[in-house]
Amino acid sequence: MRALTTALFQNLMDSISQWDSLTPLLLALCSIFAVAWYAWIFFTKPSPNLPPGPPGLPLFGNLLSLDPELHSYFASLSQTYGPLFSLRLGTKSGIVVSSPSIARQVLKDHDVTFANRDVPVAGRLASYGGNDIVWTPYGPEWRMLRKVCVLKMLSNTTLDSVYQLRRNEIRKTVGYIYSRVGSPVRIGEQIFLTVLNVITNMMWGGTLEGDERDVVGAEFRTAVAHMTELLGKPNLSDFFSGLARFDLQGVEKQMRLLAEQFDRIFEKMINKRLRRNNEGETGEESKDFLQFLLKLTEEEDSKTRLTITHLKALLMDMVVGGSDTSSNTIEFGIAHIINEPEVMKKVQEELDNIVGRENIVEESHIHKLPYLLAVMKETLRLHPALPLLVPHCPSETTIIGGYTVPKGSRVFVNVWAIHRDPLIWNNPLQFDPTRFVDAKWDFSGNDFNYFPFGSGRRICAGIAMAERTFLYSVATLMHSFDWKVPEGQKLDMSEKFGIVLKKKVPLVAIPTPRLSNMALYK
């Protein structure tokens, strides 16, 4: 017993750097719980027929051995323990899926059972108590939110109606980059500002100009990045419910402050719009999402009503989910194009053939650019925006792949690993868009060799908007400019794990105009 306790605390101290702000209170609690946990596992039997997995410590299980780069760490564990393995995460079971056949069982064959989420503390705070489309449990409320998003807010008809908003923001970005010709440009930052302005325009019609655009955009990007970081961070409160009240890592406190920051913005916009509506200043010409959602909250005959809380939670999804995922994917895509001269040549030749150098790219062109679409698909193969998707949570104990997956466990689908599996893909680490030219692969989630937006009932609601945003942005930047990395520098394509995958080293490149008429940059 003494040797076990000594080994436990030695491992704890060796791993303590992976957990922020572990307090003396936590260490005291650990000493108490370790003895109790050891006694519990000594006198009880493990759950029958769990998937295999690495051995863990008393109390903590495998928590202290988790690598910060979870997607690649899980992929390496699957080489040892197979395509379905289990982890003990404190008092919770973690199940990791790393093969198309097992993913199909989870996301299609048992879709309804796995349609819920294991909502982390950070997720609950960021979504007004889990009232958004990401975290709401499967049922009438979720179906109502899904209908609002897919059939109303993000339908092709709605996106067509606000095309001019997207066009205006893209043209502003082109103008800014033109003013920086010959100088290094942080492409990720500019794309984030563009996407953010598009989203805020679509939400409530407001836009940012001049210096305010840079200041507020930088503030938003920092807040969004911090929020997604907290959402993907292992939190003791999620794995030991008895410790949640102590918020030992400060995740709850940090997320509460961020959520309040966003809520103040949402409240300001909602109140401003309500005053305008009451004063009769907003007529039928207002087509933004806020006006549409406010009308839905007034519908009395709906079985499941949209509340103001739902409304703000959907706005949060749009700001956080729409801006960070799209801008990071675009940054990866442009980095690969710059890094592969042959790919850049093919992209620009296709654009010149369809658009010409005497015109600018319009969104109507993007469906005539099959090679660029292949570039997007290949980017999402190598760098899926959510590498482990959003974790699922079975509503009842289920048999998957011949093993027991307990009710309430946290199920990770490692789409990142599946997309890089050499048994599925030739030269899986090579960026090769031609594998998607004239190929069957799409974003529908029906083929479990390739499903970057997920599959089943919980498939991403914003696929249509994500596709338009990527294709239109990348087409415009590659058509308008040639790009090269600063002298003496080399592109670093490494990733930084989070609930949203990011480029570890931001992309910096130097633009050169390539259109025949400089007036097209104005």
pLDDT band (50, 70, 90) for residue 10: very low
Mean pLDDT, rounded, for 121-140? 94
| 107, part of any domain | yes
Question: pLDDT (tens digit, 9 = 90+) per residue, 159-199?
Answer: 998 898 889 999 999 999 999 999 999 999 999 989 988 88
Mean pLDDT, rounded, for 65-89? 96
Give the number of domains in the chain.
Answer: 1
Task: Report angle CA 373, 497, 434 to the nearest 5 degrees.
Answer: 25
314: domain CATH number?
Answer: 1.10.630.10
Q: What is the pLDDT of residue 268?
A: 85
Question: pLDDT (tens digit, 9 = 90+) per residue, 392-407?
Answer: 999 999 999 999 999 9
Biggest CA-to-CA distance, the chain: 79
CB 177 within 8 A of CB 481: yes
| 180, part of any domain | yes
Whether the pLDDT of residue 52 is over 90: the answer is yes
Q: What is the pLDDT of residue 247?
A: 94
Q: What is the pLDDT of residue 483?
A: 97
| 441, part of any domain | yes
β-pair partners for 392 = 117, 411
Mean pLDDT, rounded, for 250-271? 92
From 353, 365, 387, select the one nearest 471 (Cα to Cα): 365
| 276, part of any domain | yes
Mean pLDDT, rounded, for 271-289? 72
| 2, part of any domain | no
Whether the pLDDT of residue 286 is over 60: the answer is no
Mean pLDDT, rounded, for 425-434? 97
202: CB partners within 8 A, 6+ apart: 162, 165, 288, 289, 318
| 16, part of any domain | no
Cα 153 from chain centroid?
A: 19
497: CB partners within 8 A, 6+ apart: 68, 69, 70, 71, 72, 232, 387
Whether the pLDDT of residue 2 is over 90: the answer is no
Strongest mean pLDDT among 8-22, 97-111, 268-282: 97-111
β-pair partners for 510 = 484
Question: pLDDT (tens digit, 9 = 90+) per residue, 377-391?
Answer: 999 999 999 999 999
For residue 428, the 8-state DSSP code is T
From 331, 344, 327, 287, select the one nearest 466 (Cα to Cα): 327
pLDDT band (50, 70, 90) for residue 216: low
pTM for this one? 0.89
Whether the pLDDT of residue 28 is over 60: the answer is no
- For the chain, count helices (H), then strands (E): 19, 12
| 434, part of any domain | yes
Whether the pLDDT of residue 22 is over 70: the answer is no
Q: What is the pLDDT of residue 287?
A: 67
- Amino acid residing at 428: P
Q: What is the pLDDT of residue 278?
A: 82
Domain enclosing residue 234, as ranges: 46-521
What rounded mean pLDDT belongs to the chain? Answer: 87
- Amino acid residing at 353: N
Which is more confidently placed, 20 or 366? Answer: 366
Whether the pLDDT of residue 277 is over 90: the answer is no
pLDDT band (50, 70, 90) for residue 224: confident
Q: What is the pLDDT of residue 234?
A: 85
| 260, part of any domain | yes
Whether the pLDDT of residue 42 is over 50: the answer is no
From 301, 288, 271, 295, select the one nearest 153 (Cα to Cα): 288
Whether the pLDDT of residue 29 is over 60: the answer is no
Provide the token pair at 152.
């109303």
